[in-house]
Amino acid sequence: MEKLKIAFQKFDEYNKADNNIFVWEGAEYPQEYFLALQLYQWVLKLDPTATEALLLASRSQHIGRWEIARETYPDGRVGYLTWRKDLSFFHAKKAKEILTEVGYEEEEIAKVERIILKQRIKTDPEVQTMENALCLVFLQFQYEDFHPKYVPEKVINILKKSLLKMDAHGHQFALKLTYSPQGLAYIQEALKLLAE
């Protein structure tokens, strides 16, 4: 547990360097630091017996995300997907560097990398738990600021894709969150489309 604690400290220190500020309930936080803590908490809610690899991945899933800006890639879906893929490899590489420094074995580090890269989603329970947690962080902390900025069709399509990545266990938690009337209406519409 000592290594886990040290790894968490190093991940948190790194993410505290994020100049992007996230405001929640009147307090300000470095964005990726705040979101990493919330992801960790969601992983624990979804799986109270989460393995050390999954816990490590939860605190480093988006480590240093601000260092590769979306604006440095072309507009459009291809540019977006390329950016996301490059980010995943960057996060896995950064986590590996820190975990190696802390003294983790290669086998354990490889497990963390597999979760960060979301390999075998839908078939690997740990990767699925991470995907559920990521979607729940978005829904709880980012969704209500996000959906008013876009046309309904785009919001519903994004929600549909997010909900599709989740499983029934994740959906149960998503439906218990508090939403604005409009936010809830979009989610209900996306769920309806999934059921068709």
Give the model confidence (pLDDT) of 73-108 as tens digits: 999 989 999 999 999 999 999 999 999 999 999 999
Q: Residues 91, 32: contact at Cβ < 8 Å?
A: no
Burial class (CB in 10 A: 0-12, 13-18, 19+), 90: middle
Evaluate if residue 196 carries a pLDDT over 80.
no
pLDDT given at position 54: 98
Long-range contacts of 16-22 (CB under 8 A, 24+ apart): 18/65, 18/66, 19/66, 20/66, 22/141
Where residue 194 falls among pLDDT bands split at 50, 70, 90?
confident
Least confident of 30-39, 53-62, 107-116, 157-166: 157-166
pLDDT at 195: 83
121-140 pLDDT, tens per residue?
A: 778 999 999 999 999 999 99
Tell me the CATH number at 83: 1.10.3210
pLDDT level of residue 1 (50, 70, 90 thresholds): confident
Task: Check residue 60 and give its pLDDT.
Answer: 97
The pLDDT tens digits of the residues spanning 4-59 come to 999 999 999 999 999 999 999 999 999 999 999 999 999 999 999 999 999 999 99
Number of domains composing the chain: 1
Q: Which domain holds residue 169?
A: 2-195
